[in-house]
């Protein structure tokens, strides 16, 4: 073989290797993953069942005149879960999910706290799967010193019914940052008459609202590694209990209890600093009761035990000194 032919052979081999490497990196060859599509056997039928479940649930989202529904959309998406970044070719499953999303506002609810209470009241009037008082409870779970920061407090709550998960999230509206949710690759109807993809910042500003609410129902109807069993998700306790360490005092906070569960008798205890008690009834019942500086651990425990025995709903936050 001549030097020229050897050189040509080497060049051809190098070029072939480069092409093979490029194809390998792009995932076009040598992939251990089976080729899957949203139309594979069984998927269209499962998608149709999921769509029917979502359609049924969205008919149950009946809101009062206090709420302005801006738009909604039903979406569908299938994808393969792979971890190519770490060169992991393990088959992590082919997944398909349908979701219905509605965007709404409550113009007279001006803060996350007001919106949380308003959404809880709206949900209580429906038969949707939603943890009672869930939005307010989520607000109260935030670190107390920043609980009034609208940038941090993003209340959310929900529940599930069979395979359908339902969720509500509210957040502060910033016109310059607004991006309408993606409309999805399959749109099957809009009960509000407007797709969420068409909602502009101007549309929201026109309502006078500064909090945006997102209602979402979703179903994962296909997963080659197994569908989730939402029935395994434990419902929240009737009374939420949060504990924190910060500040330099012991404090007991109560929120969103039912009227019949008035806990004030428990707070009328010598261990509580009566002059420092704060109580408000709007947007939801709230009571802050600092303990007297000299209160003993057993005395603080006595008050806490009394409160927990008196309540069958709401949230209790116990704070002790710390960073």
Output the tens digit of pLDDT for each of the chain's 323 residues: 544 343 344 334 444 444 444 444 444 334 455 667 888 899 999 999 999 999 999 999 999 999 999 988 888 888 876 555 555 556 667 889 999 999 999 999 999 999 999 999 999 999 999 999 999 999 999 999 999 898 899 999 999 999 999 999 999 999 999 887 654 443 333 444 457 778 899 999 999 999 999 999 999 999 888 787 787 777 778 899 999 999 999 999 999 999 888 788 999 999 999 999 999 999 999 999 999 999 999 999 999 999 999 999 999 999 999 87
What does residue 250 show for φ and ψ, rounded to 5 degrees? -90, 130
Asked if residues 189 and 167 have their Cβ atoms less than 8 Å apart, the reply is: no
Nearest to 315 by CA among 154, 111, 113, 150: 113
Nearest to 307 by CA among 294, 297, 296, 316: 316
Strands 286-290 and 278-280 come out as antiparallel
d(CA 106, CA 170) in angstroms, rounded, equals 10
d(CA 135, CA 115) in angstroms, rounded, equals 8
């Amino acid at each position: 073989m001549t030097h020229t032919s050897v050189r040509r052979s080497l060049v051809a081999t190098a070029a072939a290797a480069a092409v093979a490497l490029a194809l390998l990196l792009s995932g076009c060859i040598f992939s251990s993953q089976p080729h899957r599509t949203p139309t594979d056997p069984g998927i269209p039928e499962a998608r149709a069942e999921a769509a029917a479940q979502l359609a049924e649930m969205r008919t149950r989202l009946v809101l009062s005149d206090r709420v302005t529904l801006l738009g909604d959309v039903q979406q569908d998406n299938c994808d393969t879960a792979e971890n190519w970044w770490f060169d992991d070719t393990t088959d992590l499953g082919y997944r398909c999910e349908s979701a219905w999303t509605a965007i709404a506002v409550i113009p007279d609810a001006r803060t996350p706290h007001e919106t949380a209470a308003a959404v809880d009241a709206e949900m209580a009037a429906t038969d949707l799967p939603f943890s009672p008082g869930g939005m307010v409870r989520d607000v109260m779970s935030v670190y107390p010193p920043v609980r009034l920061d609208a940038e941090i407090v993003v209340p959310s709550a929900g529940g599930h019914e069979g395979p359908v998960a339902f969720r509500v999230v509210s957040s502060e509206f910033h016109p310059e940052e607004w991006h309408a949710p993606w409309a999805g690759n399959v749109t099957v109807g809009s009960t509000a008459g407007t797709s969420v993809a068409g909602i502009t910042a101007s549309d929201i500003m026109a309502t006078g609202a500064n909090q945006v609410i997102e209602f979402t129902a979703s179903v994962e109807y296909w997963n080659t590694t197994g569908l989730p069993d939402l029935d395994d998700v434990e419902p929240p306790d009737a009374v939420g209990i949060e504990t924190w360490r910060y500040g330099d005092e012991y404090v007991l906070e109560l929120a969103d209890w039912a009227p019949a569960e008035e806990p004030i008798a428990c707070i009328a205890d010598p261990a509580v600093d009566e002059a420092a008690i704060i109580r408000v009834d709007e947007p939801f019942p709230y009571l802050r009761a600092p303990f007297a500086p000299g209160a003993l651990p057993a005395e603080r425990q006595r008050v806490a035990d009394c409160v927990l025995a008196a309540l069958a709903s709401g949230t209790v936050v116990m704070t002790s000194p710390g960073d």
